[in-house]
Amino acid sequence: MLLIVLISAVVLLILLITLFKFNAFIALVLVSILAGLSAQMAPVDVIKAVQKGMGDTLGSLTLIITFGALLAIILSETGAVRRISLGLIDTFGMKYLGLSMALSAFVIGIVMFYNAGFILLLPLVFSIARRTGISLIQVVIPVSAALSVTHGFLPPHPAPSGIASLFGANVGLVIIYGIIVAIPAIFFSGILFPRLLRGMDIKPSDKLFPENENSNAPLPEFWPSLIAALIPVVLMAVATIGDLVLEKENTIRQVLSFIGDPSTAMILGVFLAIPILGQQKNFGAIMQKTSTAIESVATILLIVSGGGAFKQVLIESGIGDQLSALMEGIELSPLFLGWLIATIIRVSLGSATVAGLMAAGIIQPMMVGSDVSPELMVLAIGAGSLMLSHVNDTGFWMFKEYMGLTVGQTFRTWTIMEGIVGVVGLIGVMLLSLVV
């Protein structure tokens, strides 16, 4: 009976978002309440579960996601993003243009949401394609692949941050393992795959990003720009290493744990970026523009909290326990199962964030008492949440319109690229599980 409730809840959520065009947050909360009532929970307990799930999720993620967006605005407004991209291109040269574009997008994508990073890098993509004569598709695929990987695998992005919170995963380890898995995923989807598309004829609008689009304002230096972008990642990674090699009572470890806490690391990243980039005089002007970033994360935070509500209802209604009992007799790796559930929801709904959070809510009860690494489960679900993007995903249409592709060409480029990321990501997680 309870499993029927779960299946019905997932189907209803899909219908509400795709057919009736409900906002994802409203749909998640509504379905969570209906699922709890259908599982015969007392109405007051349903509301308490929804509130607890939302509160627990937002409590650990609000600072991470909000200050991550603020750091992205600072890097954009100061020109650090453009300096990082141009510096990497100059370093690797034309022979390794795809690699340099992927690296640029990866560094920038760590702190920028996919859509923001994509739009920000597009003028550079168009400019490089014009100046070199290389097909636009050869330049944009490495960028899109790297941005997708960071969006699905690495905190402080909403889905991996939310999933890590649900599983109690070590965020520093998620980042370290995520970078390891990201390398082959980006290589196959962003470096090798574009070589199969060299004959594709695309016709983007000539009015998009003309040559005079880019500002001639002076840019910050390369190394300060790179350091400013990577401060949070470095702090979290160092803290994780400290946890592994130092005694719990060690003072250095305690200090590293404080500054490497994801929330602290993001806050430090924001307030250290300004002096590192030498922009103290522009501090006030830059801070005024951060209101845009705060507005942009409001909807994301609500969707993430809705995923937390759905998870909590599944736990307190007993649906999760029944699902765990059923899965005990199925000879499937929990990591593969998490990836598969996320893939199914991703293909059905389109949103990678919603797919990842819903899959985590379904799989979370199975993690209790399990020896599966919660960090690897975050990455497995993240890989599934990126699979096979198609017409129900805004990323699909954004890529299509900016590149001037037909729907068929978008399937042959964007959708296949996302599929490669998802499959290679899963393979990387499974291989990593043999040694972690």
76, two tokens: 């954009």
Type of residue at 376: L
- The torsion of the CA quartet 424, 429, 432, 434, rounded to 10 degrees, works out to -110
63, two tokens: 């600072």
Exposed, middle or buried by CB within 10 Å (0-12, 13-18, 19+), for 345? buried
Closest to 35 (Cα-Cα) out of 222, 310, 243, 274: 310
Type of residue at 306: G
pLDDT reported for residue 206 = 55
pLDDT reported for residue 344 = 87
End-to-end distance of the chain based on CA atoms, in angstroms? 37
pLDDT reported for residue 33 = 94
pTM: 0.79
pLDDT reported for residue 138 = 87
pLDDT reported for residue 376 = 95
pLDDT reported for residue 318 = 81
For each of the chain's 436 residues, which pLDDT tens digit applies?
Answer: 677 888 888 888 878 877 888 888 898 899 999 989 998 999 999 999 999 988 887 876 788 888 887 888 888 788 888 888 888 878 877 778 888 889 988 988 887 778 777 877 887 788 777 777 788 888 899 999 999 999 999 988 888 988 998 888 988 899 999 999 999 999 999 999 998 887 776 767 555 554 444 455 678 898 999 899 889 888 988 888 888 788 888 889 899 989 988 889 889 998 899 899 887 666 677 777 777 667 767 877 888 788 888 878 887 888 766 766 666 566 778 899 999 989 988 887 777 888 888 888 888 877 776 788 999 999 999 999 999 888 777 788 888 878 888 888 888 999 999 999 999 999 999 999 999 8
